[in-house]
Structure 1
Amino acid sequence: MVQNTKLTKMIFWAMMVAVGVVISPLLRIEGMCPMAHFINVTCAVLLGPWYAFLCALAIGLIRMAFMGIPPLALTGAVFGAALSGILYRASKGKIIFAFLGEVIGTGIIGAIVSYPVMALLWGRTGLTWLFYVPSFIAGTLIGGSIAFLFLKQLQRMKLLTKFQQALGTQVYDKVKQAESSLKQ
């Protein structure tokens, strides 16, 4: 069962990377990629912070290599993905904290880190430290809100816990935790 869980987790992760690469240019607003934030929050809740970070990294690298996207594809995703998963776990499974982690991680940290990357490494001029904050926050609010609503709906339908269990991810549903401890 452990091997199947690991395999299932890797397959799901690969599917999230593929979906992220495919939908990012289709559902894009100039200067924003809201669907990347949807993927980040969804991965953070279903797979955890490490897999969410790796998913954002993989999507960013693929977009940079094949779509000519600047390094914003990385700086605008990896911090939010990781912080989303970290805050989700720290809050013991509160989806709102996964959303807030994405907004803070990408909308503020990622946006500020983007300035030196784009100015010094990419040669963009006329930028300030806060140049990317408005568009990054707007993108995270759009994509993160969609993910929040999606995950809350899964939770209401009692599917979120089932998906997390199938993926071998930490489950925070108190009823399922009690059932699991009684079986042991």
Structure 2
Amino acid sequence: MALFTAIAVFGSSFIWFPAGIAKAYPVQHAVNVIAGVLLGPGPAVVIAFVTGLIRNIMGTGSLLAFPGGMIGAFLAGYIYRKTKQKWSASVGEIIGSGVLASLFSVPFAKVFMGSSAGAFFFMPPFLVSSVSGSIIGYVLVKRLVKARAWKYRLDH
């Protein structure tokens, strides 16, 4: 879990791109997919939380990293666990981070950040970030399976 957290924090410092009004950080979403498949929903949520916490302490993240990362991480792991299909973790990440977290961010941003932005303000950048990261995460999971790098979770 610490390694995935380190990858997410470090990767987010270097790999990002503009996505409308925000920045897309695909490494966090890729880590969510990989951790959801390899470790399950609980550890994936912890990784997303600790990553968001460290990035906020460092000044490289926003409070929206918490709902964005944690909801997607949970759904990536949960949907994978229910279906046993690796691609379903990516779908869970996109639904969780791209759709649900963007909707949850409206009241979250109002309460914690004083912003009155609507859902469509958050959804496009959240979707761009989660789709790009989910694709990367899926490709990496497929490579890990092919290399037999992680037998425990993938055999269940």
Same fold (TM over 0.5): yes
AA at the equivalent of 2:128 = A
Task: Report whether the alignment pairs 1:22 with 2:22.
Answer: no
Tell me the alpha carbon deviations over residues 21-67 of structure 1, each in whole angstroms, 9 at most, x when there is no partner. 11112101232111100010011111111000000000001111122
| Largest Rg, 1 or 2 | 1
Q: Secondary structure at the match of 1:119?
A: helix
In 2, Cα distance between equivalents of 1:69 and 1:142: 18
1:146 corresponds to which residue? 136
1:120 corresponds to which residue? 111
CA contact (8 A) 2:37 2:154 kept: no
CA contact (8 A) 2:32 2:69 kept: yes
In 2, Cα distance between equivalents of 1:68 and 1:100: 27
Between the two proteins, the alignment pairs up a number of residues equal to 152
Gaps of 5+ in 2: none
CA contact (8 A) 1:33 1:139 kept: yes
Task: Report whether the alignment pairs 1:33 with 2:25.
Answer: yes
Q: State the Cα distance separating 1:100 from its structure 2 match.
A: 0.4
RCO (CA 8 Å, sep 6+): is it higher in 1 or 2? 2
1:52-131 alignment to 2 at 5 Å? 52-91=44-83, 93-125=84-116, 127-131=117-121
Q: State the Cα distance separating 1:170 from its structure 2 match.
A: 6.1
TM-score by length of 2: 0.91
Tell me the alpha carbon deviations over residues 75-107 of structure 1, each in whole angstroms, 9 at most, x when there is no partner. 11000000000000100x211110000000000
Q: How large is the Cα RMSD of the aligned pairs?
A: 1.5
Gaps of 5+ in 1: 1-12, 173-184
1:10 corresponds to which residue? none
Q: Secondary structure at the match of 1:71?
A: coil
Give the % identical residues: 29
Structure 1 residues 70 and 22: CA distance shift in structure 2, 3 A: same
CA contact (8 A) 1:115 1:130 kept: no
CA contact (8 A) 1:47 1:164 kept: no
In 2, Cα distance between equivalents of 1:68 and 1:148: 25
TM-score by length of 1: 0.78
Q: Secondary structure at the match of 1:70?
A: coil
Q: Deviating runs (4+, > 3 A) in structure 1? A: none
1:48 corresponds to which residue? 40
Q: Secondary structure at the match of 1:124?
A: coil
AA at the equivalent of 2:85 = K
